[in-house]
Amino acid sequence: MFEYFGTNDVPDDGERYFVISPAGWVDLLGISAFSDADFVGPDDLPYKGGMVAKRWLGFMWMTHSGLSIASTIRKCFAYHRSAIGMASGQDVSTEVNYVPEKAAHLITAMMSQGSVLIDTTGVYEVQIKE
């Protein structure tokens, strides 16, 4: 991914992200350059202070348990922040109503958001075997 992003002129400005499954994170812990203080220093160890994201090879690595899996192949993603966009169609709004039949209050909240792929070279699907 580091080479792919570099070859395709994806900026290395601290906004590269890599989302992997928890099982992928465990596999990364087996790579000494990812988890050994001799390589990353004592302040950048993966579990210092609990389960947190970690910066390595220009990417901010983080786990997500909702990545889709087919058989034993899990889809993970590497992306640059500028390659995706998010729009807010409606801010969060809430309503509080009294329902006399139930002798209770009904509280509802709603919002509208969407996302779009802006630059295909800045998002890459990576398949890992679990």
Would you say residue 100 lies in a domain?
A: no
Burial of 42 (0-12, 13-18, 19+ CB in 10 A): exposed
Would you say residue 105 lies in a domain?
A: no
Look up residue 7 and give its DSSP letter.
Answer: H
Would you say residue 9 lies in a domain?
A: yes
Contact 127, 19 (CB under 8 A): no
What confidence tens digit (pLDDT) does each residue in 93-102 have?
999 999 999 9
Would you say residue 107 lies in a domain?
A: no
pTM, two decimals, is 0.76
Would you say residue 18 lies in a domain?
A: yes
Q: Residue holding tokens 């699907």?
A: 125
Would you say residue 8 lies in a domain?
A: yes
Would you say residue 15 lies in a domain?
A: yes
Would you say residue 103 lies in a domain?
A: no
What confidence tens digit (pLDDT) does each residue in 64-122 have?
999 999 999 999 999 999 999 999 889 999 999 999 999 999 999 999 999 999 999 99
d(CA 122, CA 5): 7
Q: Which two tokens stand for residue 13?
A: 């400005």
| Boundaries of domain holding 8 | 2-83+118-129
d(CA 32, CA 39): 7
Contact 28, 61 (CB under 8 A): yes
Within 10 angstroms of residue 124's Cβ, the number of other Cβ atoms is: 18
Number of domains in the chain: 1
